[in-house]
Amino acid sequence: MNWMTHGAAAALVLAVALTPADAATPAKLMDPAKLADKAPATFKAKFETTEGVFVIEVTREWSPLGADRFYNLVKSGYFDGVKFFRVVPGFVVQFGIHGDPAVSAKWQKARIQDDPVKESNKRSYLTFARSGPNTRTVQLFINLGDNTRLDTQGFSPIGKVISGMDIVDKLYGEYGNGLSELQGRITNEGNAFLEKNYPELDAIKKASIE
């Protein structure tokens, strides 16, 4: 099943050539290898969005490599400005493609190994997207329903929404699953493409470690 992530090496090379890093983009986001701190045993991440605030609690033991990656992404400001590009009511809210194509290009090959699935993809649980074994990078989804069938497919939850799930439910979902097929273009053109063609999408204003 390849409905979660999309990679296009040739297109990414083009993106790097044509789209310099935005002046406002932190330099550290251009070097994924430097963002490799070990996460605490448990931590909370606050997401301020265009609909309101929700908080995720991560338990490192559930998915250590995934928890470490998420911790570094939040702490570095990676998610600030990122759009919720895929909202399928009753299924998932997916996000993680950076608004700056140059940053996206740097992270597409920054894969982490899979973690064993210890928790289930129940409603409110946060999980990394993947397109096959050991392909997790920066995309995640929040389960809007009980998607336990994903457990046997290697999707390992790292945490869960502990407050503000009503905000997650409000994220704009009228575009449905349509943008899943456009992940390559979103990666290559960033928020400029989404804001021009899908202006109703909600976004993360700021994500921070509490």
- Tens-place pLDDT, residues 148-193: 999 999 999 999 999 999 999 999 999 999 899 999 999 999 999 9
Kindly state whether residue 132 falls inside one of the protein's structural domains: yes
Q: Is residue 57 part of a domain?
A: yes
Question: Are the CB atoms for 10 and 191 separated by under 8 Å?
Answer: no
Cα 194 to chain center, whole Å?
16
Q: Is residue 28 part of a domain?
A: no
Q: In this structure, is residue 17 part of a structural domain?
A: no
pLDDT of residue 4: 58
Q: Decide if 82 is inside a domain.
A: yes
Q: What is the structure's pLDDT at 53?
A: 98
Average pLDDT over residues 135-155: 98
pLDDT of amino acid 114:
98
Q: What is the pTM of this model?
A: 0.89
Is residue 176 in a domain?
Answer: yes
Mean pLDDT of the chain: 90
Q: What is the 3-state secondary structure (H, E, C) of the chain?
A: CCCCCCCCHHHHHHHHHHCCCCCCCCHHHHCHHHCCCCCCCEEEEEEEECCCEEEEEEEHHHCHHHHHHHHHHHHHCCCCCCECCEEECCCEEEECCCCCHHHHHHHCCCCECCCCCCCCCCCCEEEECCCCCCCECCCEEEECCCCHHHHHHCCCEEEEEEECHHHHHHCCCCCCCHHHHHHHHHHHHHHHHHHHHCCCCCEEEEEEEC
Is the pLDDT at 64 greater than 50? The verdict is yes
Select the more confidently predicted residue: 92 or 14: 92
Q: What is the CATH number of the domain that holds 59?
A: 2.40.100.10
**Residue 97 located in a structural domain:** yes
Q: Give the chain's domain count.
A: 1
Question: Is residue 156 situated within a structural domain?
Answer: yes
Question: pLDDT tens digit string along 34-45?
Answer: 999 999 999 999
Question: pLDDT (tens digit, 9 = 90+) per residue, 88-129?
Answer: 999 999 999 999 999 999 999 999 999 999 999 999 999 999
| Percent of the chain's residues with pLDDT above 90 | 85
